[in-house]
Amino acid sequence: MQTAVVATALKILLFPAYKSTDFEVHRNWLAVTHSRPVTEWYYEKTSEWTLDYPPAFAIFEWIMSWPASVLDGAMVDVSNLNYASWATVAFQRSTVIITELLLVYALHVYASTAVPSAKKQAHAVALSILLSPGFLIIDHIHFQYNGFLYGWLILSITLAREQSTMLVSGILFAILLCFKHIYLYLAPAYFVYLLRVYCFDPKNVFQPQFLNIVKLGVSMAVVFGAALGPFAYWGQLEQLKSRLFPFSRGLCHAYWAPNVWALYSFADRVLIFLAPYLKLDINQEAVKSVTRGLVGDTSFAVLPNITPQQCFGLTLAFQLVALAKLWSKPTWHAFVGAVTLCGFASFLVGWHVHEKAILLVIIPFSLIALQDRSYLSSFRPLAVAGHVSLFPLLFTVPEFPIKIVYTLFWLMTFSYTFSRLAPPPPTPRRFLLDRFTLLYTAISIPLVVYCSLVHGMVFGDKYEFIPLMAISTYSALGVLASWAGLNLCYLSA
């Protein structure tokens, strides 16, 4: 609790810090839900930042809009675009901190319910998540509500430990999907685990638990019926789908999303220069798309273009490997590993991946990072790459020392603590990732300094895509190394 209080004090000091367009996105959603009837929420488009989260989050914004309207009525005026009075800033920043109390509670439940032999590890993990640079950068400076949502996820995962609370775990996850649909990527792991452990006898797959099947099915129907039923009645499901799943957007959200497609984009960029020597054809119209790093259609100049269907197929194929292991060995640790690997798959090869989605991997992986030293070795490259990949979100000078110093302090503190707490693995350790992480971390410091400071001093506004591409390519290598390491640990356990 003392740690939470100190962390809160720091976050309050960051109220005047840089805020992204996401700040205006959420202010606009306050205005939309407050000023328009429910039937118009997913049609309103006065602002370009239209409501594109599921109904539960819209209700969440609607609830917050009432105290917002009392504090500053202009805040909830739909036509008042880019409104950012001090009252608005203080209110929205405060709501992030207040709703993050759910994360504090979830971590308390996670740590307090751990087996006695793992209490120290659980408390260390809880503190590392609470103080995560990811939440500080994305939520408390850039501006989002990830702490609240990941608190919900951690609580759901924790309750899946015991048979007596497994139904509640499933219900909480279903509600979470109604808050933010990105968690659909984790749903396959929940489906397999609940089916295998809750709907069937864990020791006999041919012995269904009919009462549990009914309870789970009715619960899911009630949750999704309450969230989507009104929109089905109004005939708005197609409109809701178009807002939640805008497949018209391009493959790459931006260069700094560190996944396979960042490496693919980098390879295509290199091939543009090598094409004359290798006698390769170049699509000249696609060159700008390759270099711009902006939201939109991404066309490749040399390599084949990628479709949403191909991304979906690759994501499912990667996930099936972990799900098969979970089906055959349905333990809680295997479940968390499957959740993490499902998140990995969606991040690495998904369509239009946001750089902020790396938390979908970091947070569940943190829960098993101290299972043994092999898992920790796999987690370390992700901890470095995932947080470095978030640095381009904060490109203003005042935030530079904050993101660098805080992240370095977090990495050093928890790397040392985790190293002391992680037990030895049951099989001989493989030190390849340990050596990789040491070299990888050493490279990160000069790379970040160059991309954040030196490049601008030397080139000004020219070649602005180069720092973004360098960060994303570097970070993608770390994320891939972590994914490979976790697969090795998970499948050999």
Question: Do residues 391 and 400 touch, judged by C-beta distance below 8 A?
Answer: no
Tens digit of pLDDT for each residue in 445-477? Answer: 888 888 888 888 888 877 777 888 889 999 999
pLDDT of residue 253: 67
Which has the higher per-residue pLDDT, 468 or 148?
148
pLDDT of residue 293: 42
**Paired tokens of 370:** 């101290």
d(C-alpha 80, C-alpha 186), whole Å: 37
Which pLDDT score, from 0 to 100, does residue 7 have? Answer: 86
Cβ neighbors of 145 (< 8 A, separation 6 or more) are 26, 95, 96, 99, 139
The Cα angle at residue 464 between residues 462 and 470, in degrees rounded to 5: 130
Q: Is the pLDDT assigned to residue 286 strictly greater than 50?
A: yes
Mean pLDDT of 309-316: 94
Q: Give residue 135's Cα distance to chain centre.
A: 10
Average pLDDT over every residue of 316-336: 96
Tokens 């609790």 locate to 1
What confidence category does residue 82 fall into, taking pLDDT thresholds of 50, 70 and 90?
Answer: very high
- Per DSSP, helices labelled H in 141-259 are 146-159, 166-179, 187-193, 210-233, 237-244
Q: What is the mean pLDDT of residues 63-85?
A: 95
∠ at Cα 374 (370, 376), nearest 5°? Answer: 40
Q: pLDDT tier at 297 (50, 70, 90 boundaries)?
A: low
Residue-averaged pLDDT of the chain = 91
Confidence band for 298, pLDDT divided at 50, 70 and 90: low
Total-model pTM: 0.94
If residue 208 lies in a helix (H) or strand (E), which one and from where to where? strand 204-208
pLDDT of residue 435 exceeding 80, the answer is no
> Residue 204 in 3-state DSSP?
strand
Name the H helices within 41-182: 55-71, 86-99, 101-112, 119-130, 133-137, 146-159, 166-179
Does the pLDDT value for residue 444 go beyond 70?
A: yes
pLDDT for 431 equals: 55
If you average pLDDT over each of 156-160, 199-203, 271-275, 354-358, which comes out highest?
A: 156-160
State the pLDDT at residue 202: 79
> Which position has the higher pLDDT, 215 or 290?
215
The alpha carbon of 293 is separated from its chain's Cα centroid by a whole number of angstroms, namely 20
> Percentage of the chain surpassing pLDDT 90?
71
Task: Tell me the pLDDT tens digit for each residue of 106-127.
Answer: 999 999 999 999 999 999 999 9
Could you identify the residue written with the tokens 């493989």?
430
Task: At 58, list the tokens.
Answer: 């819209």
Helices 400-421 and 373-388 meet at what angle, rounded to 10? 180
